[in-house]
Amino acid sequence: MLDSETHVLATGTVSEDRRHGRGARSNASGRFESHSRHDVDDGWEGLGELAPFKTEVRSEPARSIITRNDSPDISFDRSINPYRGCEHGCTYCYARPSHTYLGHSAGLDFETKLYAKDNAAVLLERELAAPGYTPATIALGSNTDPYQPIERGRRITRDVLEVLARCRHPVGIVTKSSLVTRDIDILVPMARQGLVKIAISVTTLDRRLARSMEPRAVTPAKRIEAIRQLAEAGIPTAVMVAPIIPSLNDSEIEDILGTAHAAGAREAGYVLLRLPLELKELFREWLATDHPDRAQRVIKLMRSMHGGKDYVSAFGVRQRGTGPYADQIALRFRLALKRLGLNERRQSLRTDLFRRPVLPGGQLTLL
């Protein structure tokens, strides 16, 4: 709301007409910026006349495409992110703070100022061809969704998959988009060779809650249908209940797992809500506007699972939390897995089929 004396947006939030269909409620300057931005009515034009936020996509020629990590609490040591920023606009996205490295806000900028790595497939082929490269599963979409809406036109993710398929390289995909089914023609042959697994993120089965939390992602029903199509095609498919938010969607754990299992998912995992850096305030702003009746309880329970803090970044704790409430969630999840028979067999992807690509002018192998 506007303060009558200063005409500044006192809460820091952007007016609803400007952020319609977006997840974040504000667009504060990034933590690395020396100046902060504020919308101010100078008397010439009202704040209501400012242009709404529109999606902008910029091409970003990347210098390298495979990102390495040594985190002991995740199952992969390398990943590819075809895009920076994500138009899905998930209010809880732990990747939001990464946008500040580009001079942008972790708020509305993250979901409207997007970067496409158009040379991703070319770089990937070059990096796989390096003499010292040793194959291991590449995670596709570890930071932002590889099948977000702009992938329909850009097709960078599909180009990357085509390279991986030619090289018989294993890949694990995480997405909350049904667009992944577009690439079944590539994924089925890879699945038959033990080269691919796909995890579909289902945060809630409640369409209204999903639209509020993940405004530009497909509906929960479409995600469940994607699981069904992938499983029926013979592609190993998992469901990720992520993030679990106490007092908001934690009551749905069993229903999500049961629905996904009925659709064909045979593996499952979960992650608790993470609130690093700018996300602490962004998530609170969303709670205040969309769930004011339970905002205080959500934050209180979240802090109880992180030693009284908003977030603990320690490996092994950041994704699961500690304390009675975190233990209760873990127990419920384990019991549901056992009842449904999920995770009874966890498929490992093959690396022994890898064929190093030969770049133009390169030497072919004899065998």
What pLDDT, in 10s, does the model give residues 81-111?
999 999 999 999 999 999 999 999 999 999 9
Total domains in the chain come to: 1
Confidence of residue 32 (pLDDT cuts 50, 70, 90): confident
Domain assignment present for residue 263? The answer is yes
The more confident residue out of 292 and 363 is 292
Taking the C-alpha atoms of residue 266 and residue 246, their distance in angstroms, rounded to an integer, is 25
Domain assignment present for residue 361? The answer is no
Average pLDDT, the chain: 91
Confidence of residue 43 (pLDDT cuts 50, 70, 90): low
DSSP designation for 196 = E
For the chain, what percent of residues have pLDDT higher than 90? 80
Domain assignment present for residue 348? The answer is no
Taking the C-alpha atoms of residue 280 and residue 274, their distance in angstroms, rounded to an integer, is 9
pLDDT at 333: 98
Q: pTM for this one?
A: 0.91
Structural domain range at position 224 = 47-340
pLDDT at 183: 98
DSSP designation for 100 = G
Confidence of residue 7 (pLDDT cuts 50, 70, 90): very low
Confidence of residue 6 (pLDDT cuts 50, 70, 90): very low
**What is the Cα Rg of the chain in Å?**
22
Domain assignment present for residue 352? The answer is no
| Extended strands (E) in the chain | 56-59, 67-68, 78-80, 83-84, 113-116, 138-140, 171-175, 196-201, 237-244, 267-272
Domain of 321: which CATH number? 3.80.30.30
pLDDT at 8: 32
pLDDT at 9: 37
Domain assignment present for residue 275? The answer is yes
Strand partners, 175: 200
Domain assignment present for residue 144? The answer is yes
pLDDT at 303: 95
DSSP character string of 61-106: --S--PEE---TTSS-SEEE-SEES-TT--TT-TTGGGGGGGT--S
Taking the C-alpha atoms of residue 3 and residue 351, their distance in angstroms, rounded to an integer, is 61
Give yes or no for a contact between 268 and 197, defined as CB atoms under 8 angstroms apart.
no
Domain assignment present for residue 203? The answer is yes
pLDDT single digits (tens) 133-145: 999 999 998 899 9
> What does the pLDDT average to over 112-126?
98
pLDDT at 10 over 50: no
